Each structure stands twice: as structure tokens, then as C-alpha cells.
Amino acid sequence: MGVATTSAAPTPVASPRPAGRRGRAAAWYAAFAVYAGGVAALSGPGLDRWWGIWAVGGYASAAVLAWCWRSRGRQAALAASLAGALAAPVVWLATQAPATPDVTVVTRSAALLLHHGSPYLAPAQLAHGGVLAYNPYLPVMAVLGLPRALGLPGLAGDPRPWLAAVTFLLLAAAFRAAAQPGPLRRAAFATASPLIAFPIALGITDPPVLALTCLALALLASPAWPVARRAWLGAVAVGVASAMKYTAWPALAVLTATIVARDGARAAARFAAIAAATTLTLLVALAPASLTAPAALIQNTIMFPLGLTAARTPAQSPLPGHLLATVGPAGHDAAIVLLIIAGVAIAVSLAIRPPADITAAARRLALGLALMFALSPATRFGYFAYPLGLLGWIALSRESAPDLT
């Protein structure tokens, strides 16, 4: 007699993916918290320490929320990191601490632009004004100081909230152009990271330039638009960034070489022409007086960053270029020569083996910027937010990135 058997339905096995998502997001926030804690512990008395104190609490809370709250943990973690690492320190430092050098320079440049048609002091005034008299930024950066120059008081007139808002909106546009889901969440995660939240809290002006570079990369790789349209929009983004700061100029060279390899020389020439025209138009519109008297522009934006003026830039870190420059005039000249050699080497690499796609272009640009910052005679570790941010852009542009946000 046979034994009757029944086929039981298999017991559902809980998917490990939610726990994996929680673990990955919590690990990133924990790493951010360790970094912020290091800033708080190792920085001397000053604004860097205040950011670290605020941010370590925000990131630690975010790590706990991401790990423990299964249903809404990632959203709550994102809010906690934005509040602790960005919103709270920006409000605190803008209202309770003296203006940082970057904030002082940006707000004064906007006032000069409104009243004199140039964001730069004349060479005669620079000779007696000290380090803070110099403005190493290009004219579009002065736009971030216009709220204060137009009379907005307190936090509303401080450049830092505007830096945060502009950076977030540009990153959201970049993720949207990249056709990735959740562009606002991705932009919020990137803005809350130490690479962007830390410099914004101190009024440092690199985040919007980095965000514009990411937007250009996303537009050039976007599958949603025709090639001609995305190239035109990408060129405009690079042009605007190039009218804000010289650190955006290498992106024009790298992306032009990439377009040569991908779309041909004619498309690359059109891209470069649109970007250059955008930059020139903005320079003419925002600094007309600088074009008739270029000495001030040269002194502020070229000679001062290279350490060739009487007042030396305070940007310094124990990197090869700066260490050489501290040896004396010969060491300073050697650092500039090495910087030029590195630039030529990158240019030759672009001609011989241009990046095959936009992801490769982002990596090549990150390498070139890292070399430039390492060999510059006047440099700081904060500049490495550019190459690290570009690598972060590559990671966040992947399909797996929603696990973080």
C-alpha cells in the first residue's frame, strides 16, 4: 500500500536585499561620521571644528536610522544627514561666527561689480589691501554675493545658503539628465556628503563648479536627447563653470577630446566654440570694466593663485608642489615647471588616447585635476573634492545607487 504524500508549497524566504540596502547606506553614513569626527578632533579651534561637531551627530544619526528603520530608514537618514552636516552648520556659522575669507571675497566682489562694473580691485588697491583684497574667482562667482550686495540681511544675504541651493539644483538636473531614478534623492545624498556639505558650510566656492561639471558629463551621455542638443547644452554648462573658476577649464579640454573620439572633429569644434562663447559672453556681461583694464583680472585670478604677488595666497597643504615652493624662489619655479609638464602630459594623452566615453572622460579629468592640485605651488587638500566628486558622480550614476538613497 503506497504512502500518500502531499506537496507543500515552499516556504517563502525573506529577501536579503532590504537588509543589504540598509547596511550599505548605514556604512556610508558611518564613514561620513568617522570623517566628520576626525575633522572635529584634529582641527584646531575654528570653523572646521564647528562643522565637524555638527556633522558627526548628523551622520551618526543617519547611520543608525538607515540600519534600524526598515520602512523609512533611508529617507529619515537622508534628512538627518542634510540637517546635521549642512543646514545646521550653515545656519550656525552664518549667524554666530565671523564671515569666512571666501564669504568676504564673494560678497565684496558682488558689491564691486554693482558699483564699478568689475568684481576686482585695481592693482594699486591690491598693493595695500592684503590677502583678502584679492579675488581669485572669475566673474560669475560674484553672482552668489549679489543677495548681500542688494541688501538682503542675515542668513538670506549670506552666500552659503545660495551655494547649497544652486549646487543641489544643478546636481538634481545632472541626475535627471542621466535618466536615473530618484534624481532629487541622489542629489540630496551627494549634497549631504562631506565633499560638498563641508566646503559649503565654510563658504568655499567649489561645489557649484563641480556640480556644473557633473551636469555637463550627464548631458553629453544622456540617452534622452539627440546628440546635437545634448552637446550644445553640455557646452553651455562647461562654459558657465569656466566663467566661475579656472578649475573648470580642464573639463573643456577632456570633453572636447572625448567628443572628437566619439562624434568627430566637427562636433568637437562646435562643442568647444559654444563653451568658449558662453564663457566669453558671461565675462563681458559681468565684468565689462575688466576687459578694458585687464591688469586687475590678471593680478587677481592668475598671479595671486600661483603665488606671484606680494600677498601670498593662504592656500597651502603638505603636497609636493607646495613643499617645493617653500624651498625658495627656485623651488617655486620648479613647482610651476612640474605643473606645466603635468598639463602637457595630460594634453598629449588626450591626443594619443582620448577617452572613449563619458565615464572614461570623468576618470581622466579626475586624474588630471589630482595631478594639478598635487603639483600646484599654492594648494589645499580641499581641492581634491573635484577628483573625488567626479568618482562619486560615476558611482551615483549607476543603477545600484538607489540602495544608498
Are 84 and 105 members of one domain? no
359 inside domain: yes
Contact by Cβ (8 Å): 199, 172: no
Of 61-75, 161-175, 255-269, 355-369, minimum mean pLDDT range:
61-75
Residues 277 and 387 in one domain: yes
pLDDT band at 129 (very low <50, low <70, confident <90, very high): confident
193 and 79 housed in the same domain:
no
Q: What is the pLDDT of residue 364?
A: 95
Residue 304's pLDDT band, with cuts at 50, 70 and 90, is confident
3-state secondary structure of 220: helix
Give the count of beta carbons closer than 10 Å to the beta carbon of residue 280. 14
**How high is the pLDDT of residue 25?**
87
Domain count, the chain: 2
11 within some domain: no
Count Cβ atoms below 10 Å from residue 403 Cβ, excluding itself. Answer: 17
The pLDDT score that the predictor gives to residue 329 is 83
| Residue written as grid cell 506537496 | 7
Q: Is 6 among the domain residues?
A: no
State the cell numbers at 143: 553672482
Among 293, 312, 242, 306, smallest CA distance to 272 is for 242
Domain limit, last residue, from 98, 128, 145:
98
Query: Cβ contacts of residue 41 below 8 Å, gap of 6+?
Result: 52
Is residue 4 domain-resident?
Answer: no
Last residue of some domain: 39, 73, 98? 98
Within 13 Å, how many C-alpha atoms sit on residue 378's CB side? 15
Lowest pLDDT segment from 73-77, 266-270, 307-311, 367-371 = 307-311
Q: Does 192 fall in a domain?
A: yes
Domain assignment of residue 326, yes or no: yes
64 and 149 in a single domain? The answer is no
Cell numbers that stand for 233 in this block:
547644452
**From the CB of residue 214, how many other CB atoms can be counted at a distance below 10 Å?**
31
Q: Calculate the dihedral angle through the C-alpha atoms of 53, 105, 287, 196, rounding to the nearest 10 degrees.
A: -10
Instruction: Report which secondary-structure segment, H or E, holds 21.
Output: helix 17-42
Helix, strand, coil shares of the chain as percentages rounded to 5? 75, 0, 25
What span, in angstroms and rounded, lies between the C-alpha atoms of 140 and 281?
A: 11
Please determine, for residue 1, whether its predicted confidence score (pLDDT) is greater than 80. no
CB 93 within 8 Å of CB 202? yes
C-alpha cell at position 99: 564671515
Domain span at residue 88 reads 20-98
Query: DSSP labels for 137-168?
Result: S-GGGGGGGHHHHTT--HHHHSHHHHHHHHHH
pLDDT of residue 125: 87
Is pLDDT of 166 > 90? Answer: yes
Q: Which three cell numbers, joined as nine digits, stand for 41?
A: 578632533
Indicate if 250 and 292 belong to the same structural domain: yes
Determine the pLDDT at residue 44.
Answer: 78
pLDDT in tens, 29-83: 999 999 999 999 988 788 999 999 999 999 999 999 999 877 677 899 999 999 9
Same domain? 44 vs 128: no
- The answer to whether 183 and 172 are in contact (CB under 8 A) is yes
pLDDT reported for residue 73: 78
Separation CA 49–CA 287 (nearest Å): 36
Return d(Cα 376, Cα 338) in angstroms, integer: 8
The average pLDDT across 375-393 equals 87
From first CA to last CA, the distance across the chain in angstroms is 60
Q: Which residues contact 234 (CB under 8 A, 6 or more apart)?
A: 215, 216, 217, 219, 220, 255, 271
State how far the Cα of 222 lies from the Cα of 176, in Å rounded to an integer: 9
pLDDT at 162: 97
Q: Return the pLDDT at 315.
A: 65
Does 190 reside within a domain?
yes
Examine the domain organization and report whether 72 and 133 are in the same domain.
no
Within a domain: 15: no
For residue 316, name the pLDDT band (cuts at 50, 70, 90).
low
Return the C-alpha cell found at 405.
538613497
Same domain, 121 and 68: no
Whether 92 and 224 map to the same domain: the answer is no
Helix (H, G, I), strand (E, B), or coil: what is residue 310? coil
Q: Residue 11's pLDDT is what?
A: 43
169 and 91, same structural domain?
A: no
CA 72 to CA 78: how far, in whole Å?
Answer: 10
Q: Based on the domain organization, do 38 and 127 belong to the same domain?
A: no
Q: Of 29, 63, 98, which one is at a domain's C-terminal end?
A: 98
What's the whole-model pTM score?
0.89
| pLDDT tens track for 218-248 | 999 887 667 778 889 999 999 999 999 999 9
Nearest to 339 by CA among 312, 356, 319: 319
**Cell numbers 537618514 label which residue?**
77
Q: What proportion of the chain, given as a percentage, has pLDDT over 70?
A: 91
Looking at the fold, whether 87 and 147 belong to one and the same domain comes out as no
Cell readout for 334 is 620648479
- Cα separation, 405 vs 395, whole angstroms: 13
In contact, 95 and 267? CB cutoff 8 Å? no
> Which amino acid is present at 182?
G
Rounded CA gap, 278 and 152, in Å? 29
Helices (H), 222-264: 227-242, 249-263
| Distance of alpha carbon 86 from alpha carbon 93, whole angstroms | 11
Residue 7 confidence (pLDDT): 40
Listed range (36-45, 114-123, 342-351, 372-381) with the worst mean pLDDT = 372-381
Q: What is the pLDDT of residues 243-288, one digit of tens each?
A: 999 999 999 999 999 999 988 999 999 999 999 999 999 999 988 8
**Which amino acid is located at 55 in the chain?**
A
**Average pLDDT over all residues of the chain:** 87
